Amino acid sequence: MGTIAQPVEGLRRPNIASADVQIPAVTDYEQVDREIIATLGFTKKWLLGLGVAVAAMLVGASAWIYQIYWGLGQAGYEPPVMWGVYIITFVFWVGIGHAGTLISAILYLFRAGFRTSIYRAAEAMTVFAVMTAGLFPIIHIGRPWKFFWLIPNPNWRLLWPNFKSPLVWDVFAISTYLTISTTFLYIGLIPDFAVLRDRETNPMRKRIYGILSLGWRNSDREWRHFAKAYLFLAAFSTPLVLSVHSVVSFDFAMSLVPGWHASIFPPYFVAGAIFSGFAMVWTIAIPMRKWFKLEHYITLNHLDATAKVVLFTSLVVGCAYMIEFFIAWYSGVRPEQEFFWYRVFGQWWWAAWIMLLCNMALPMSLWSQKLRRNPTWLWFLSIFINIGMWYERFVIVVPSLSHEFEPWQWGSYTPSWVDMSFLVGSFGWFFMWFLLFVKQMPVMAIMELKEIVVPKRKHAHDGGHH
Amino acid sequence: MSTEAGSGVKRRDFLKILGATGATTAVVGCSSEKVGKLIPYVTSPDNTVAGVSQFYATTCKECATGCGVLAEVRDGRPIKLEGNPEHPVNRGAICATGMSAMQGLYNPDRYRQPMLREGAALSPVTWDRALEVLGQKLGEVKSRGGAGSAVFLNAHETGSFPGFLDQWLSAQGMPAHLSVDTMAPAATISSNRAAYGVAWPSIDFKASALILSFSADFLDAWGHRVPQQLDWADARAQLEGAPKLVYIGARRSLTGLNADQWIPAKPGSEMAICNAILGRGTAAAAATAADVSEATITALVAAVKGAGSKVLALCGMNTPDAVECGTMVAEINKSNGSVGTTIKPAMAHAGYEGIASYLDLVDATERMAAGSVPVAFVRNVNPAHSMPKAAGFAEAFAKVGFKVSFSNMPDETSELCDLVLPDNHWLESWGDAVALAGERSFVQPALEPVFDTRSVGDVLITAARADGTIASRFAQPDYRSWMISNFAGGATAFATALTKATAPGSPVASRGTRNAVAARPATMSAGDGNMFVVVYPSATLGDGAGANKPWLQELPDPVTKIAWQSWVEIHPMTAKEMGVREGEHLTIKTAAGEVTAPAYPYMGVRPDTVAIALGQGHTAYGRFAMNVGVNAYALATNGFDSAGNLALGALKATVTRGEAHSPLVTTEGSARQHGRGIAQAMMAAAISAPEVEVEHHEIAGHVSQEFLPGLKSPVAADAQGEYANPKSKDKGMYNPEHPTKAEARRWAMTIDLARCTGCSACVTACYSENNIPTVGATYQGRALSPATWDERPGANIIKGREMAWIRLERYYEGNTNTENEFSPDFEARFVPMMCQHCGNAPCEPVCPVYATYHSPDGLNVQVYNRCVGTRYCSNNCPYKVRYYNWFGYGEPERRQYAWPEPMHWMLNPDVTVRGKGVMEKCTFCVQRIREGENRARSEERELNADEFTTACAQACPSRAIVFGDAADENWTVAKLAYDRRAYHVFKELNTYTAVVYLKKVNHPAPAASATA
């Protein structure tokens, strides 16, 4: 079956519809169990990676303690740029957190075949990305110990949050999204926990998997309920995929800041989030399929299918960029026009051009099937897209604030070492969770893979554990 | 079901009590807060009510003007200085320097007790020991017969103390003291004496039609700033009938920026221009000398002639020929017949009487250098800093046998002394001052001395009484008794006079006389070099005395908007030629010395001239002054004019580009308003022109503009319903019929840009009233790494983190090609910008926790306790008037604490000191509003119109700011808001601001040539 994993040089392969992506190199259920469970063994390299991630996380954690003690002045804020790296990174991680639920829920409803191999990893990525993102609003506020005031909590003085404020909407959107995506991830894991439980020899771990699998016995009734619950949650998550980033975009669109005040923001942000989320899936899945020897699960056809999504969302995002410039010109509002000129030719021209290069120009390479099927290129492209999307948020947040209505208060912004520690720390925190995840839980949905495996007839009696 | 009804405690009651006591125990027991002392008095004096201010009338001693001030005293401590509305000099206004006296009083670096030199350092001693040393040294000097050579340098003041001091000195056999005022416009005083016979005739701007200012910076630091500014603003408020101002000088100062025309005459050419005006020279000759067009000079000559007796010519130069030039300028007044009309020698100010000339100081220095001065005294005079280095004061002073300082700050001179007997601050002292001839103002202490200091008068009396030979000449035990004993009417009359702070009369003791120093011919080697240097006193720091006060350091220079720094002003064209960009260092080298400071490209300076302000470069003088900027006195040669005054002007220098670069500590973003209508102006002629119907643009989605005829903007929006649309069914957020009547009010403000000069006194007033932290001191910066801190002065301001709730924006109009051509024709517009208290505020809906919301009386309220610090409100504020506490500026345990002990004594107890992580902004002085309302309520009456005002409006020496209830037509603000010139900033954003600006009024250039 190597022919599918290794496309013939110079020969254009037939375009495989996303729905038809299969894993022909996987031939029986036992193979699925064996190969997926094999990824759970601890290795030295994994420990090293975890060590690096924890160290990076600690950089951020110590920066936070330092910042709480001294005040936000240690970050690089320069009024009027009152939001900086923290909000940029917040939006960045919320965006990353989009692909997972899109893949697991929306593509599930659309029966996209390429989803099966990648959805578990993407879903876990989503949960951890939202966990990372959720920290940033707290890091960013001046009195983080009062964060709970943004949450409606019964109190003696009957003080409630201001439901007009997009920041309160954020609180609801993010917490709902985190709850649902975590639940969705867990529900999908139940049958897999059962597989692990059955295969586990260590009594302690066996017991833990036993609890997590909720006594799953593989009965028809359980599968029937499971399928319904899964479908229900998929349907429930689907609007959230669209709503969360729309709400995040309201943080900007609801204000009157030139460069923020735009009705295109919700679809633009959702497209951008899916775009960056898929890029992050590549960043994780491409090394993972190699290191965990799962190339025949995440085939080039899978990558090809995801590349098409990236190409499409890149076009949407690029279109949104252009529309922003058009509307600025068309509006006739002088501060708006001056700002958009400033965005691409002003102080932060380089950031805007990084954004345009990484998000609009480089993804156009994906028109080439050859590049769509080149994991190395896709991995490097994913890094460019991650950088480009971080800069997209930079371009939205910083230049807009630095160049508002009042020219006397136009300013600048330079992140400090504290800001950068949080950026490093956020990656540390994210990868710490992800690395812990990959060694405790299967990175691919064993039960779903088994659904699409066509077992060889001659081993019909050895049909796995169902 | 209780079965024991009526007997004992019911179960329900028991539970209630249990709950209550339990909660109380928990609350009390769990409190981690230390119990603080709120009220300093254990037993308060009879007339003191905790929480209610008392006002003591006294007289400001920060400069020679002698403004009447009220010290607001709360529970025994002054917390703010305000202008005394009944004082004839300043009529309730006060300048930034005056208000900052508070920070001289509570300065943490003041001498806290007497100091005596032991070896290389000054060490604290007791007063007994200090006085013993003083007596012993005085005795030694007298016994050796050296008393006649003693030198006493006293900070110039009017009133009785100089006479008293001379009496004391004469009793000791010492010559009269030198009254030193390095900030006084000495050459002007000399030429005034020659021309008008008085040191400072009063200036009547209102009677003038044309004002010529030869570098007379009457709105910066020249002369008596507050009364001048009051008169100037009143004159300009006549709009069409306002006097026009032509500013002649190489650098456009704040006064220059307020002028209708700037003639950028080459330094040294002023005489030629005067000659042309007086018909003694040709316009062509003057034009050549001044490097301006002949047409301009011709037009100027014609304009002066045309104005007749309504000409007011002022000279504020300090060149070697300044006295001659000043005399010629006076001749312009005389030949036009305006003496007595615009300039009134009969109504003279007395503030500058008795100042020693620079030559006196040079003479004293020379005697010191020769070793012939056995004992020298200094009191709040700092020649080691505020004298040209070329004069060699520090070296000469070191040769004095015994040096005594009465200064209250460890300044450069005081640190050289052998004995320091720290004087009380004037807010702790008795005294008097004479501002106008025949009008005596009193200085009375507003608190017990903060530190272990003693009034200089008391110390001198004590020292004299300890000396048996002269004790009999000092019958009174202290200076206060001495003053009373000399006061007509005695103690009772004195006590009565204090309540008014002024009384007719003159100082009770006459000054002694000194042997006149032999006159010397004017000398100054201009030196050689490619550029002229203008060295000018800072409008905020003076020539250095203000540098120890963080308010003044933090107050951006009104022209350049730079704080906590020295800078070199250079024309953008010259800068481009030299390849210098903003912040790159320039070295100015004159014959006397050199200084290096970052460049500030400024189109208001001639391309062949650079300018630098005095005031910085202290090597002592406390934590706020040290290591900030450079001392521009290093550039001055030790030259003087024909009257013996220091000549600073018309120096030649070589200006070279340095290697280093320092970011400017500036609050300026863009100096252009990009056509956004923030600072609007109109021509004077348009005011009386028939009103043109304003074209209305109906924009879909906008509120109908129908209710806005002319300006008629809805400042009373909240009182009158949603956006003041009378047709609207929606009557706004609050019920106008509500019994509290708060809903019926709409606090609002008008700012008259035709009056505003940009002086920035309002900014300091706001700092003082609202406990705004200063953030620019060297210790307040952020960490550059986990181990190192940004210790540049103004590091936070470089990051844009200044906290000024009200700021003065200075926008330029015209002359956009400054890098390639030099044109003097540009206009500056000053806009005080603070929270606009929008009726439809963008900051309010975005706050997630209601920390900012709308009060029923139209205030945009900020609740610090509730703020979590998302800073969204600031992002959404189009005016950018919200300020964030990046550090714990208000937390004593933090490195960045803004009020090191005892500076926190001046905090206003009515205003919360904000902690780190919260947003703050202008509150329209809500504490004053509530205080006024409460006072009215307790007196069972309605608020009177204009009963109180905000701190900025109260201080404003231009009377540009008016505050009040726009919904009540009895208040002045309600009338002004409907002025023909009124407009809102960013009206198109539908914010419905409560601040209404009245357009600046421009006049055509008075000396514009027909062809120009």
pLDDT digits (tens, 9 = 90+) for A166-212: 999 999 999 999 999 999 999 999 999 999 999 888 899 999 999 99
* Residue B805 contacts A, CB cutoff 8 Å: no
pLDDT of residue B697: 43
Contact A286, A382 (CB under 8 A): yes
Query: How far, in Å, CA of B813 to CA of B624, rounded?
Result: 35
pLDDT of residue B39: 58
With a cut of 70, say whether residue B807 has pLDDT above it: yes
Residues 142-161 of chain A with CB under 8 A from chain B are: 142-143, 146-147, 149-150, 159-161
Of A137, A255, A410, the CB nearest to B670: A410
- The CATH number given to B531-661 is 2.40.40.20
pLDDT of residue B706: 37
Question: Residue A316 has which token pair?
Answer: 């949407």
* Sheet containing B982-983, strands listed edge to edge, beginning at the edge strand earlier in sequence: B961-965, B747-752, B995-998, B982-983
pLDDT band at B345 (very low <50, low <70, confident <90, very high): very high
Question: Residue B547 has which token pair?
Answer: 């540098």
With a cut of 90, say whether residue B663 has pLDDT above it: yes
pLDDT of residue A159: 87
Contact A159, B853 (CB under 8 A): no
* Preferred mutation among A408, A414, A419, A421 to probe B, highest tally of B CBs within 10 A: A408
Q: What is the mean pLDDT of chain B?
A: 87
Residues 47-76 of chain A with CB under 8 A from chain B are: 66, 70-74, 76
* Residue B702 contacts A, CB cutoff 8 Å: no
Residue A419 structural domain? 21-142+161-187+240-459
Least trusted range by pLDDT, from A37-41, A347-351, B877-881, B943-947: A37-41
Q: Which of A325-339, A411-425, B729-743, B992-1006 has the highest mean pLDDT?
A: A411-425
With a cut of 60, say whether residue B37 has pLDDT above it: no
Least trusted range by pLDDT, from A306-320, B718-732, B798-812: B718-732
Question: Residue B592 has which token pair?
Answer: 């006397």
Mean pLDDT value of segment B602-620: 94
Give CA separation, B12 vs A374, B2, B18, B398, B775, in Å. Answer: 78, 9, 10, 85, 56
CB distance A79–B894 less than 8 Å? no
Protein fold of B186-349 = Dimethylsulfoxide Reductase; domain 2 (3.40.228)
pLDDT of residue B1001: 93
The answer to the question of residue A84 being in a domain is yes
Non-local (6+) Cβ contacts of B346 within 8 A are B201, B340
Structurally, chain A folds into a number of domains equal to 1
* Positions of CATH 2.40.40.20 in chain B: 531-661
Coil vs helix vs strand at B652: strand
Interface contacts A/B by beta carbons within 8 Å: 186
Coil vs helix vs strand at A321: helix
- The CATH number given to B115-183+355-504 is 3.40.50.740
With a cut of 80, say whether residue B243 has pLDDT above it: yes
Type of residue at B88: P
The answer to the question of residue A394 being in a domain is yes
* Residue A342 contacts B, CB cutoff 8 Å: no
Give the closest-approach CA distance of A349 to chain B in angstroms: 18
* Residue A397 contacts B, CB cutoff 8 Å: no
Type of residue at B300: L
With a cut of 70, say whether residue B315 has pLDDT above it: yes
The answer to the question of residue A16 being in a domain is no
pLDDT of residue B251: 94
Read off the DSSP letter of residue A358: I
Coil vs helix vs strand at B379: strand
Query: How far, in Å, CA of B450 to CA of B409, rounded?
Result: 13
Mean pLDDT value of segment B288-314: 93
The answer to the question of residue A235 being in a domain is no
The answer to the question of residue A195 being in a domain is no
Give the closest-approach CA distance of B296 to chain A in angstroms: 33
| Ranges of chain A whose pLDDT falls below 50 | 1-11, 460, 462-466
Evaluated on CA atoms B101, B107, B110, B113, the torsion sign reads positive
Non-local (6+) Cβ contacts of B604 within 8 A are B251, B252, B256, B257, B262, B559, B569, B826
pLDDT of residue B557: 95
pLDDT of residue A6: 45
Give the closest-approach CA distance of A226 to chain B in angstroms: 39
Evaluated on CA atoms B811, B815, B818, B823, the torsion sign reads negative
Give the closest-approach CA distance of B226 to chain A in angstroms: 27
Give CA separation, A300 vs A279, A305, A385, in Å. Answer: 15, 8, 20
The answer to the question of residue A137 being in a domain is yes
The answer to the question of residue A199 being in a domain is no
Q: Degrees (nearest 5) of the Cα angle B673, B679, B684?
A: 130
CB distance A408–B669 less than 8 Å? yes
Q: Which residues of B422-439 are buried (b: 16+ CB within 10 A; e: fewer)?
A: bbbbbbbbbbbbbbbeeb
pLDDT band at B736 (very low <50, low <70, confident <90, very high): low
> B681-690+707-772+795-816+825-1002, which class in CATH?
alpha beta
pLDDT of residue B519: 74
* Residue B870 contacts A, CB cutoff 8 Å: yes
Q: Strand pairing of B609-613 and B178-180?
A: unpaired
With a cut of 60, say whether residue B958 has pLDDT above it: yes
Q: What is the DSSP string of A188-246?
A: HHHHHHHHHHHH--SHHHHHHHHHHTTT----HHHHHHHHHHHHHHHHHHHHHHHHHHH
The better pLDDT of the pair A204, B490 is held by A204
CB distance B846–A408 less than 8 Å? no
Q: pTM of the full predicted structure? A: 0.91
The answer to the question of residue A13 being in a domain is no
pLDDT of residue B918: 95
pLDDT of residue B15: 64
Give the closest-approach CA distance of A59 to chain B in angstroms: 12
Give the closest-approach CA distance of A367 to chain B in angstroms: 40
Question: Residue B856 has which token pair?
Answer: 């029923």
pLDDT of residue B709: 34
pLDDT of residue A116: 86
pLDDT of residue A41: 83
Return the residue of A nearest to B990 by Cα: A256
Read off the DSSP letter of residue B471: G
Contact A36, A444 (CB under 8 A): yes
pLDDT of residue B41: 66
pLDDT band at B13 (very low <50, low <70, confident <90, very high): low
